[in-house]
Amino acid sequence: MTATIPVEEDLLPSEADVRSYEEHGWYLSKKLLTDAEVDVLAAASDAFYAGARTRRLGKRPSTLAYWEPSHGPVQRHNDYIHYESDTIGTILRKPVIGAVAARLARAAEIRLFQSTLIYKPPRPEEPTNLVPWHFDLHYWQTCTSDRMLTAFIPFHDCDEEMGTITMVDGSHRWTEIGGGDSTTRHFAHRDPAELDQLVRDNARHNGAEMRPVPMVIPKGHMSFHHCRTYHGSGANRSGRPRRAISLHLQDGENRYREYGLSDGTPVRYNHDHFVRRTPEGTPDYSDPDFCPVLWQSHR
């Protein structure tokens, strides 16, 4: 099984790197993918956009991000890319990625949680190309873990001109104010000005300065962020599309939990429509078809 394949120690974060991740809430990796592997991601996503699928999600829940050509030249998001494209899924399951995440989260096991294919066209004036400040745990209220994390994997060198992902340094350690029912809604369905105000209010509440750090990511490297780290991204002014995958990861202990809005309405994550059930009848966030194990430490 892939999870027991040894990985090169040099590619993993050192103890100092893990402490820095714990302090700042983000980590820029070494070169974890070869240029050839990244080129395969780009080619497979071209094929995906042209209609190629290894298998199809049977349903389209209203909260599913699923760009189709009829949506036009807006920012493209396609959830469950690891499920619909085996070529992409195989590269995302490369053990070293899970091993890096396991070190950062100090977890014995890492499973894939979700993956989203992203395409930000070079249209600085297009409002959907701006990713407002948010943190990913808001979408995962039905998860028990607060150690989940995300790897942002561009298909090319990615810098500020391209509208790279930008972290609000140390924000994962803030205590949160204003985290009401609306935080579970995806950023694409919220008012960016309101989200901008929310992060500023939270910084002030924590006596912190709002320090955005753009991730300058060379091809084959990736940035990791903690599930409570505020992040977002700006316009793509490069003249070329910004292409990437956002790979969301869970530690082995993560489970489904019931979570309700203030009026009692249960929150549903997209998985709850797709994954198998546990013996207790709840969504199984370790269903290998959707949430495969990427890494297990040798015990």
Which positions touch ligand AKG (CB under 6 A)? 118, 131, 136, 150, 152, 165, 231, 233, 246
**Cα separation of 165 and 178, whole Å?**
24
Residue 214: its H or E element: strand 212-214
**Residue 79 in the binding site for Fe ion (CB under 5 A):** no
C-beta closer to Fe ion: residue 251 or 284: 251
Q: How many CB atoms lie within 10 A of CB 209?
A: 10
Q: How far is the CB of 136 from Fe ion (least distance, A)?
A: 5
Please report how close the Cβ of residue 80 comes to Fe ion at its closest, in angstroms. 16
Instruction: Name residues whose C-beta falls within 8 Å of residue 68's C-beta, 6 or more positions apart in sequence.
Output: none
Q: How many residues does the chain have?
A: 299
Q: Which does 165 bind (CB under 5 to 8 A by kind): Fe ion, ligand AKG, none?
A: ligand AKG
Least Å distance between CB 188 and ligand AKG? 10
Q: Please give the size of the binding site for Fe ion, defined by CB under 5 A.
A: 1
Q: Which of 210, 204, 201, 167 is nearest to 183 (CA)?
A: 201
Most distant pair of Cα atoms in the chain: their distance? 52
Closer Cβ to Fe ion, 94 or 134, answer by number: 134
109 binds, among Fe ion, ligand AKG, none (CB under 5 to 8 A by kind): none
Q: Of 84, 109, 136, 169, which one interacts with Fe ion (CB under 5 A)? A: 136
Using the rule CB under 5 A, is 251 a contact of Fe ion? no
Q: How far is the CB of 1 from ligand AKG (least distance, A)?
A: 27
Q: Quick one: CA dihedral 175, 177, 181, 185, positive or negative?
A: negative
Stretch that binds Fe ion, among 64-72, 134-142, 151-159, 284-292 (CB under 5 A): 134-142
Residue 118's binding partner out of Fe ion, ligand AKG, none, with CB under 5 to 8 Å set by partner kind = ligand AKG
Locate all alpha helices (DSSP H) within 50-127, ordered by sequence. 81-84, 86-92, 95-105
Q: Which of 258, 288, 267 is nearest to 89 (CA)?
A: 288
Residue 215's binding partner, choosing from Fe ion, ligand AKG, none, with beta-carbon cut-off 5 to 8 A by kind?
Answer: none
- E strands in 59-173: 76-79, 109-120, 131-134, 149-154, 165-168
Question: Footprint of Fe ion on this chain (CB under 5 A)?
Answer: 136
